[in-house]
Structure 1
Amino acid sequence: MNRGSNTMLFNFKLFSKVYYALLLLFLNIVGGAVGFVIIEGYDWIDAFYQTIITISTVGFGEVHQFTPTGKLFVSVLIITSFGTFAYAVTSITSYIVSGDYRQYFKDYRTMKEITELQDHVIVCGYGRVGKQAVATLVAHHKNFVVIEQKEEIIEGFREKPEFLYLQGNATSDDTLIAAGIKNAKAIITTLPSDSENLFVVLTARELNKQLTIISRASAFSSIRKLKIAGANNVIMPDSLGGSHMAQLVTNPDVLEFIDQISIQGENVINLEEIDFKELPEDRKYKSLADLREQFPFCNIIGFKNKEGEYIINPGLSTEIVPGSKLFVLGNPEQIKNLNKQLRITKS
């Protein structure tokens, strides 16, 4: 099932009452026309015309005089069509008055925006952890799509025009494809069950080999399985929370100082990562000493080499090569000036 068919199914749910009402009306018209052709010998034009004036009860009269059998058929047709016609009118009126059509167009616009996304983030699940992930993505102005099954949460999303959402099961290939996983930059799966997260990781890795996959885990035994399945990072929120609380006892000042190094939003970033690919051409293949001379107001506190190894307080002779990253510390104004001078635009 492709993305277009997912959109059709997504919209059918909203139009279902109207569709069923129109289908019943159509079947009534067809049944009436066939009956007049068989019982009264009408041609198809006269049969259709007689059916319409009968079920609409306009009272124009018969095309031809009815036989006794024909009169009995017309009586049954009037009784059945009256209920069907009333149901159709009620359903359509209810759809318009209740505002369901506005919901349809809003959901359709959302689906259209999702199909146009590139390098976005997919968040699976909008529970406690999912909400925190989304809040950080919003603070950093990142494009994202939330996949959620619960109807009450989806209703809340419809009141937030800045949220792109998809109602469905995140473990389904079709749902992930509809969320644009083939064009996505990363996926964050925060489902409550480790088995569900494992299934999402396996599916996501199969659909997009270059995708960055971050998964939640509840048990230590799940971490290794999730990484084997293809997760780049596995986070245990409960474990992190407990460790943080204990550190406030053992090293309170150190932890409070670290908490001051904020990466929570565009205007309060103190710690920035700079990828080799983001640097201008004239700054690539330089040593850290060259950059430090040009930008003495920021401290390069970490380096990730092309092998993926992290180096704390790297030496000034370290060369910036493809696949490497810099970790720079400064106050928000210094970080902003650094990005400006390096001509780096954070999306």
Structure 2
Amino acid sequence: MINATRVHHYSKRLRRFYLACGCIVASIGTGTTFYIYHEGFTPANAVYMAIITLSTVGFGEVEPLSEVGRIFTSGYIVVNLVIIAFGISTMAGYIFEGELRTIFRSIMTGNEVNKLKGHIIVCGYGRNGMKTCEEFRMAGKRFVVIENDPDICHALTEDPRFNVITGDATVEDTLRMARIDSATALITTLPKDSDNVYISLTSRELNRDLMIIARANEESAERKLKLAGANRVVKPDALGGSHMAKLVTQPVVIEFLDLLNGLSTETDMRLEEFAYGLFKKEYMGKTLRELDIRRNTNVMVIGYKHPEKGFLFTPSTSLKLNQNSVLILMGDEESLKKFKSRFSI
């Protein structure tokens, strides 16, 4: 199903190229047939006559033509001038405008996407989608972008770091092309709530275990998105308004959060989560005191998510790590690398 969809996708992009080639073949076939059956040429001479007439090279007649043959050839030349002009303009467009390179890059992207497992799908490369992809790139996450705007896709395909699929994310076949069956998460950032609801519904049907994060513009859309299968719903406008208000009411808190979120260049401190299952075997089941993370790596444990009790902030050093728990860590890049090198499998 996926391969058939890809072939159809590329065929649409090569439609003008196929049409130009078809016109040339049809013209040669028409001329060859006329010269064989009406003028009595041999097949070799008929093909040669058709080609030199099509190409308008100005060679003489292969064999003398009848009056009807000359009339046909005169019209044949005029028609072929149009065909040649169309063919040249089409080929020039594909070659000089980079369309062939874009299609080739799309084919390579398709091959790369076919190999992906555990990746993330981003539907829409607008302002929110762009920021999402930047975060994934910095975190080293594998992702696929689905975008309907051919100009945006053309620009993205020039960047080898992007896997881009040109298509409508509300269409099931497009989601299949992005290997939704083997993806771990999908983020839909389209401007229309109805599109995000439909994508959430279709995605949940195609992958029951998928983490779906959807954008909502209207308050009424949040409930619909959750009913459609979205795990989390984000309202950018509401978040933006709240953030601006708190810049007035709690400016220092927001400044601190911006530092942790990488929105400030004053420090490279950031937050990261670390699941219990990522610890080396010898560190599993230990207490925070026994791990002594702060002294060994200069990373602070500022939060702990218990699988049943939820979040604990600034957990006690006597806390024993549990299966399916998650640590919330804070540190600079070097310290976090040191932590992963020491504790991570």
Query: TM range, normalised to the smaller chain?
Result: 0.7 to 0.9
Per-residue CA deviations over 1:35-78 (Å, capped at 9, x if unaligned) read 23443455645543443344344535344x54444443333323
Which amino acid is the alignment partner of residue 327 of structure 1?
Answer: I
Aligned AA for 2:147? E
Q: CA deviation at 1:21?
A: 1.5
Deviation of 1:216 (Å): 0.9
Give, in whole Å, the separation in 1 of the partners of 2:7 and 2:77.
35
Deviates more, 1:316-325 or 1:274-283: 316-325
Q: Given the superposition, is the C-alpha separation of residues 86 and 151 from structure 1 closer, same or farther in structure 2, using an over 3 Å criterion? A: closer
State the match for 1:92 in structure 2.
Answer: 91
1:157 maps to 156
Gapped regions of structure 2 (runs ≥ 5): none
> What is aligned with 2:281?
281
1:275 Cα deviation from its structure 2 partner: 0.9
Q: Residues 269 and 44 of structure 1: is their aligned pair in 2 closer, same or farther, counting only changes over 3 Å?
A: farther
Q: TM-score, normalised by structure 2?
A: 0.85
How far apart are residue 341 of structure 1 and its match?
0.9
Matched, 1:18 2:17: yes
Q: Secondary structure at the match of 1:104?
A: helix
What is the CA-CA distance between 1:169 and the residue it aligns to? 1.1
Name the residue aligned to 2:61: 61
1:74-153 equivalences under 5 Å are 74-153=73-152
The farther-off stretch of 46-55 and 232-241 is 46-55
Measured after TM superposition, the shift of residue 236 of structure 1 is 1.0
Q: Do the aligned residues in 1 keep the contact of 2:45 with 2:62 (CA within 8 Å)?
A: no
Quick one: percent identity of the two aligned structures?
35
Code of the residue aligned with 1:261 in structure 2: it is: L
CA contact 2:32–2:43 (8 Å) conserved in 1: yes
The equivalent of 2:307 in structure 1 is 306
**The 10-residue stretch of structure 1 (305-314 or 142-151) with the greater mean CA deviation from structure 2:** 305-314
**Residues 241-274 of structure 1, C-alpha deviations (whole Å, 9 max, x = no match):** 2222233333333333333334569x93432211
**TM-score normalised by L of structure 1:** 0.84
Whole-angstrom CA distance in 2 between matches of 1:139 and 1:294: 25
Distance 1:108 1:286 in 2: 49
Q: Which residue of 2 aligns with 1:48?
A: 47
Q: Which moved more, 1:195-204 or 1:308-317?
A: 308-317
Separation (CA, whole Å) in 1 of partners of 2:304 and 2:182: 29
Partner of 1:239: 238
Aligned to 1:227: 226
> Within 2, Cα distance between the matches of 1:237 and 1:131?
14
Counterpart for residue 258 of structure 1: 257
Q: Structure 1 53/308 Cα, relative in aligned 2: closer, same or farther at 3 Å?
A: farther
Per the alignment, do residues 71 and 253 of structure 1 end up closer, same or farther by CA in structure 2, a change over 3 Å counting?
Answer: closer
Deviation at 1:13, TM superposition (A): 4.8
Is the contact between residue 303 and residue 324 of structure 1 (CA under 8 Å) also seen in structure 2? yes
Give the AA of the match of 1:142: K
Change in 2 beyond 3 A, CA 1:264/1:108: farther
Taking a change above 3 Å as real, the CA distance of residues 81 and 260 of structure 1, as seen in their structure-2 partners, is closer
SS in 2 for 1:338: helix
Look up the match of 1:328. Answer: 329
Structure 1: unaligned runs, 5 residues or longer: none
- Number of residue pairs matched? 341
Matching residue of 2:168: 169
Q: Write the letter of the residue equivalent to 1:279.
A: F
Change (3 A) 1:62 1:277: same
The answer for the alignment partner of 1:270 in structure 2 is 270
The 1:293–1:337 alpha-carbon spacing in structure 2 relative to 1, beyond 3 Å, is closer
SS of the residue 1:107 aligns to: helix
- Give the match's secondary structure for 2:321: coil
Cα offset for 1:190? Answer: 0.8
Cα offsets for 1:80-110 (capped at 9, x unmatched)? 2233234323432454344433333333333
Deviation at 1:200, TM superposition (A): 1.2
Q: Which amino acid aligns with 2:276?
A: F
| Shift of residue 192, structure 1, vs aligned partner | 0.9
